[in-house]
Amino acid sequence: MNPALAVSRRAVAWLPVALLAFTGCGGRGGCTNEYCGTVVFAASAEPTSLLPAVSTMAGERDVFDQIFLKLAQIGPDGATFGDSSFTPELARSWEWTDPLTLTFHLDPRARWQDGPPVTAADVAFTFDAYRDTLVGSQDRTALDHIASVAATDSETVIFKFRDRYPEMFYDATYHMRILPAHLLRDVPRATWQTAPFGRAPVGAGPYRLTSWTPGQSIELAADSAYFLGRPHLRRLIWRIAGNLNNSVTMVLSGEADAVEVLVTPANIAKAKADTALALYPYAGSTYNFVRFNMRANGDRSKPHPLFADPQMRRALVLGADRPQMVEAVFSGHAKIPPGPMPQLWSWLWRSKLTPAPFDTLEAARLLRGRHPSFHLAVPSSSPTRMQYAQLLQEQYRRLGVTVVIDQVDNATFQQLLESGKFDATLESIQTDPTPSSSVAALWGRTGPTNWGHYANDRFDALVRTASAALTRDAAQAAWESAFDALAQDPPCIILYALDNIAAVNHRVADVRIQPDSWWGLVRTWRIPPNQLIERDRAGR
């Protein structure tokens, strides 16, 4: 910040202070110890429901992961194979009775925020709810491999699997937050999407909901008797900013303490220049790509006149100067993935796969003198994707390829995808910690979000092999082969994966970001007593 402005800012800081002094500052009750901290998060979007079984957004997950617990939490290395990296949450311990049977022993200290203990019946109820089509959980199909979940006593619950695969433990623990059966049993499943419980949730986690002012803020208070240790931060508040720019402005002005991702180089530069903020890079879970439609625009019965030809798609992949685009748009704050993967899959990212080269000679050879033209749909909500579209348009123009950019709003963009009325789209995808779910869903012949109708039997077979591989090395080799098959017959142009950078106020200590759930470790954050400010001392 400009020093002159900083002085001016300090000089006028009396305004809110005077306001509080004049009004008696009712909250100055004197909370001054290690457990007083209040952290305000700037949230780009407001949660719809805090009932995890019907949740669909990452912003909701940020909040309800403080209220609800899983049986076990994915470890800091993000490994999804086996169970050795997982840390206990509601389950104190677990064992494999046989290769298809997993037994969890619940922590007897765990209690619901309204008093009753968490029991094995709650776990069985949760599984049943997540699997119920009436509930319409986004994670329903992720539990397909689990045949049954049954409670044998109040603290023991048994998971039976249909088949053996390396991510059995991940599937049993990652997708479900355990729900209170005593509060939800009588709520008709078909109404869960709009159930009042979603606005007044009761969980067994370190924080409980204290207020939710629609359009403005959500406040959680720490449970001082939380069985896994008292959280240091007394209050967590999400301020609804409405969009990324407003979120960043809130953090820069000190009205919020943390924002999970800065995205643009301009935001990163502003946050770096602000001495009140510390930046925390972490592996991102998104990647961006241009998807080709293999079927004719608006007529799925016919092949696409351009993109049904693998050579045309390969020419367009080779004709895109991705290093130049990453530099131009992100000033180096993004990377080119070696395949369809986010930086979160670091074990796969570090494999021998390499991004396709920029080779205009080979691209021109594959185009064989053709001068094709196609429409590229881009969501208007994403300025960075719009920049990418314009750069691609210019690069392809030099190859004799005409790109017509169709900028549409999100709702229209989604409809174009689902109806198949597009030639190509510039998309962003957020993934799970493992490739097993999203890769097949996006690019597999029967994948529910394979909007371009890409079909590659060899790739599908390799994905099945990779998902069933019993060791990390075998899985890595199989995924490499699968992505190699995809590179030979590309369904898309992989463009970039963001370097996620969170900004958190310096007064917050012990900050750790969990890549798959940004604020998942917030209960271990703290604000030292000498860093407390008015908002920490104030309280209900």
Partner 1 sequence: MRAWLLRRIAAGLAIVFVTVSLTFVAVHLAPGRPFLPPDERPLNPEVVARLQHRFGLDQPLGVQYVRYFGALARGEMGESFSKRRPVAQLIAGAVPNTLLLTFAALVIDFTLGILIGLFQAARARRRSDVALANVTLFFYSLPTFWLALVLQLVCGLWLGWFPTAGTTDPALHASLPLLGRLGDRLYHLVLPALTLGLVGAGGTARFQRAALLEALGHDYVRTARAKGLAEPAVLVRHAWRDALLPVISLAGVALPFLLTGAVLIETVFSWPGLGKLATDAISARDYPLVLGTTLLATCAVVLGSLIADLLTAAADPRVRLTA
Q: Residue 40 interacts with partner 1 (CB under 8 A)?
A: yes
Within the chain, what is the greatest distance between any pair of CA atoms?
78
Contacting range for partner 1; rule: CB under 8 A; set: 52-60, 67-75, 156-164, 294-302: 52-60
Q: Are 425 and 291 in contact (CB under 8 A)?
A: yes
Cα–Cα dist 363/488, whole Å: 14
Instruction: Please report where in the chains the tokens 């309280």 appear, as a residue.
Output: 539
* Spatial contact of 465 and 219, defined as CB atoms under 8 Å apart: no
- Give me the residues paired with residue 157 across strands: 104, 151
Pick from 351, 390, 407, 412 the residue near partner 1 by CB under 8 A.
412
Site for partner 1 in 365-384 (CB under 8 A): 381
What pairing do the DSSP bridges indicate for beta strands 402-408 and 424-430? unpaired
Number of residues that bind partner 1 (CB under 8 A): 85
d(CA 38, CA 346): 33
Contacting partner 1 within 439-458 (CB under 8 A): 441-442, 448-449
Site for partner 1 (CB under 8 A): which residue of 84, 133, 301, 530? Answer: 133
Give the C-alpha separation, 337 to 335, whole Å. Answer: 6
Which residue of 103, 154, 217, 465 would you call a contact of partner 1, by CB under 8 A? 217
507 binds partner 1 (CB under 8 A): no
Contact window for partner 1 (CB under 8 A) among 79-87, 137-145, 200-208, 305-313: 137-145
329 to each of 273, 323, 425, how far by Cα in Å? Answer: 20, 10, 18
CB of 239 to partner 1, least distance (A): 6
Compute the least distance from the CB of residue 197 to partner 1, in Å: 11
Report the site for partner 1 in 329-368 (rule: CB under 8 A): none
22: contact with partner 1 by CB under 8 A: yes
- Decide if residue 15 touches partner 1 (CB under 8 A): yes
Q: Residue 305 Cβ, how far from partner 1 at the closest point, in Å?
A: 23
Query: What distance in Å separates the CA atoms of residue 359 and residue 111, rounded to the nearest whole number?
Result: 60
Q: DSSP character for 346?
A: H
Q: Please report how the helices 457-468 and 435-443 are oriented relative to each other, as an axis angle in degrees rounded to 10.
A: 170
- Binding flag, residue 57, partner 1 (CB under 8 A): yes
Phi first, then psi: what are they for 92, rounded to 5°? Answer: -75, -35
3-class state of residue 342 by DSSP: coil
Q: Residue written as tokens 């407390």?
A: 532
423 binds partner 1 (CB under 8 A): no
Q: Is 408 in the site for partner 1 (CB under 8 A)?
A: yes
Q: What is the dihedral of CA 489, 492, 495, 496, to 10 degrees?
A: -100
* Binding flag, residue 16, partner 1 (CB under 8 A): yes
What is the x/- site pattern for partner 1, positions 521-540, by CB under 8 A?
-------------xx--xxx
Q: Which residue has the tokens 């993934």?
A: 431
The stretch near partner 1 (CB under 8 A) out of 97-105, 390-398, 409-417, 509-517 is 409-417
Q: 224 or 430, CB closer to partner 1?
A: 430
Q: Which stretch binds partner 1 (CB under 8 A): 25-33, 149-157, 310-318, 391-399?
A: 25-33
| 200 CB neighbour count, 10 Å cutoff | 12
Which span sits near partner 1 by CB under 8 A: 150-158, 171-179, 414-422, 509-517? 414-422
By CB under 8 A, residue 499 contacts partner 1: no
What tokens were used for 382? 């994403």
Least Å from the CB of residue 12 to partner 1: 5
Amino acid letter, 288: N
Per-residue binding letters, 233-272, with partner 1 (x by CB under 8 A): --x-x-xxxxx--x--xx-xxxx-----------------
Tokens, residue 116: 């009753």
**One of 85, 154, 156, 193 touching partner 1 (CB under 8 A):** 193
Helix, strand, or coil (residue 165): coil
Q: Which is nearer to partner 1, 40 or 151 (CB)?
A: 40
Nearer to partner 1, 219 or 480 (CB): 219
430 is a site residue for partner 1 (CB under 8 A): yes
Q: Which is nearer to partner 1, 412 or 465 (CB)?
A: 412
When the beta carbons of 102 and 176 are compared against partner 1, the nearer one is 176
Question: Is residue 32 at the binding interface for partner 1, with CB under 8 A as the rule?
Answer: no
Tell which one of 12, 84, 98, 446 touches partner 1 (CB under 8 A). 12
What's the closest the beta carbon of residue 516 comes to partner 1, in angstroms?
Answer: 12
Rounded Cα distance, 222 and 206, in Å: 6
Between CA 236 and CA 282 the distance in angstroms is: 21
Q: Is 137 among the residues that bind partner 1 (CB under 8 A)?
A: yes
Which of 103, 154, 156, 286 lies at the binding interface for partner 1 (CB under 8 A)? 286
Q: What are phi and psi of 338, to 5 degrees?
A: -80, 0
Cα atoms in the 13 Å half-sphere on the side-chain side of 295 = 16
Among 13, 17, 279, 470, binds partner 1 (CB under 8 A): 13
Residue 80 has phi, psi (to 5 degrees) of -110, -5
Interaction of residue 219 with partner 1, rule CB under 8 A: yes
Pick the binder of partner 1 from 148, 152, 410, 471 (CB under 8 A).
410
* Cα separation, 291 vs 392, whole angstroms: 13
* Residue 260, helix vs strand vs coil: coil
Distance of alpha carbon 228 from alpha carbon 66, whole angstroms = 13
- In the complex, minimum distance from the CB of residue 408 to partner 1, in angstroms, rounded to a whole number: 7
Which C-beta is closer to partner 1: that of 20 or that of 336? Answer: 20
393 counts as binding partner 1 under rule CB under 8 A: no
Cβ neighbours for 540, distance < 8 A, ≥ 6 positions apart: 210, 221
In the chain the first and final C-alpha atoms are separated, in Å, by 34
Location of structure tokens 């617990």: 69
506 binds partner 1 (CB under 8 A): no
